[in-house]
Amino acid sequence: MPRVTVYYTQNCPYCRMAKAYLERHGVDYMAIDVGSDREQAKKMVELSGQYGVPVITVDDEVIIGFDAQRLNELFGTAKGEDVTDVLIIGAGPAGLTAAVYCSRKMLKTTVVSENIGGQALESWAIENYMGYRMVSGADLMQKFEEQVRSEQNIHLELDRVRSLQREGDLFVAETATGRTILAKTVILAQGKRPRKLGVEGEERYLGRGLSVCSTCDGPLFRDKVVAVVGGGNSALQTAIEMSKIARQVHLIVRSTIKADPSYVKQYEERKNITTYLHHTVSGLQGNGMLTGITVRDEKSKKETTIPLDGVFAEIGWIPNTDFLDGLVPLNDQKEVIIDINCTTATPGLFAAGDVTSIRTKQIITAAGEGAKAALEAYAYLTR
């Protein structure tokens, strides 16, 4: 057996999924919490060149992030074609809820997703989900996952759908690991991915000081100087939480702060957040690792360089609809167009959650839409 080590942090959902993957495949591994052990965190950075988790070593190979495709190549078992009643793409609040409702209707259900939890995993604290006064996104999604895994008719796979086509009465999905899945119906619930800063050199610094998952990587920046880019709820929530971890937080806002009053109140109480209104990030500096950013005042056009250790981008999300390739109509935001019953213009194809054209993007809304999509898929199959 290979020597496997997982470097993780306590609140990192991708780390939890990496460990769960190894356990399901019977792989022995050593787990090291780099959020609480600074020496091991330093070792991880030296080993991988990353200020991001998880980092997995398999003998002498270093795997950055939860790379399901590479892990499947090392430990997975190839499977042939399979036919399922419902294929659910995505395992966030919408996808997981849809899976439970499909299972209760005794439908053979397959869920395919790169992660379990979706965008909800990025939330430090959720205060508006019924039944919880306050809960982290990771904890809430763990409850969702536990319920899904208790159902007998659900097969949950960590993989990525690379293409989806309609052939006769069936949908044909090809995954990143080379599997073909045949489905009578499909529920699209793959959510969105973080929007990039659009600055030169951005890819070079991703994981090397630039992060799109503050709940994952935040603990690695204890007592350091960081910046948060954005002015909405996610940005302010990240700035508030990072102000409890980092020594100094710089909040870079393109125009003005547009967050809910509850977040604004908490933000105003933090003494170590410096705010730059009407500023954008115009440059990234560093030699291998990020050491600073340049911000531009959009009114005066004056540029300022801020020395720092990390940047968290919280500037919005892009729908994961690239692989649909004309299968279903999209709006001008590249979201899947649905009616009030989560039905698309393609028979047998349904959609729910943030990937759709509904106006409200909330966890509780996504869960409700997932239930609706599942019931519509059941009605379609029974017809």
pLDDT digits (tens, 9 = 90+) for 259-308: 999 999 999 999 999 999 999 999 999 988 999 999 999 999 999 999 99
DSSP SS3 for 184:
strand
Record: fold of 4-75 = Glutaredoxin (3.40.30)
Residue 24 has a pLDDT of: 76
Instruction: Respond yes or no on whether the N-terminal peptide bond of residue 54 is cis (omega within 30° of 0).
Output: yes
The rounded distance, in Å, linking the Cα atoms of 244 and 241 is 5
Q: Report the catalytic residues.
A: 213, 216-217
Which CATH number applies to 82-194+317-382: 3.40.50.1820, 3.50.50.60, 3.20.20.70, 3.40.50.2000?
3.50.50.60
Cα atoms in the 13 Å half-sphere on the side-chain side of 294: 13
pLDDT for residue 52 is more than 80: yes
Residue 77 has a pLDDT of: 59
Q: pTM of the prediction?
A: 0.77
Same CATH topology for 4-75 and 82-194+317-382: the answer is no
pLDDT digits (tens, 9 = 90+) for 71-118: 888 987 555 567 899 999 999 999 999 999 999 999 999 999 988 888
Q: DSSP letters along 196-241, please?
A: P---TTHHHHBTTTEES-HHHHGGGGTTSEEEEE-SSHHHHHHHHH
**Measured between alpha carbons, how far is residue 271 from residues 98, 203, 249, 307 in Å?**
43, 32, 10, 19
* Span 173-198, average pLDDT: 91
pLDDT for residue 122 is more than 80: no
CATH number of 202-313: 3.50.50.60
The structural domains of the chain, with segments of one domain joined by +, span 4-75, 82-194+317-382, 202-313
The amino acid at residue 280 is T
Residue 268 has a pLDDT of: 96
pLDDT for residue 169 is more than 80: yes
Of all residues in the chain, what percent carry a pLDDT higher than 90? 70
What are the backbone dihedrals phi and psi of residue 179, each rounded to the nearest 5 degrees, phi first?
-85, 145
Cα atoms in the 13 Å half-sphere on the side-chain side of 339: 8
Q: Report, in this order, helix, strand and coil percent for the chain, each rounded to 5.
A: 30, 30, 40
Under the banding of pLDDT at 50, 70 and 90, the label for residue 365 is very high
Residue 64 has a pLDDT of: 92
How many C-beta atoms lie closer than 10 Å to residue 118's C-beta? Answer: 30
Which of these ranges, 46-50, 64-68, 306-310, has the smallest mean pLDDT?
A: 64-68
Residue 295 has a pLDDT of: 97
Report the Cα 209 to chain-centroid distance in Å.
18
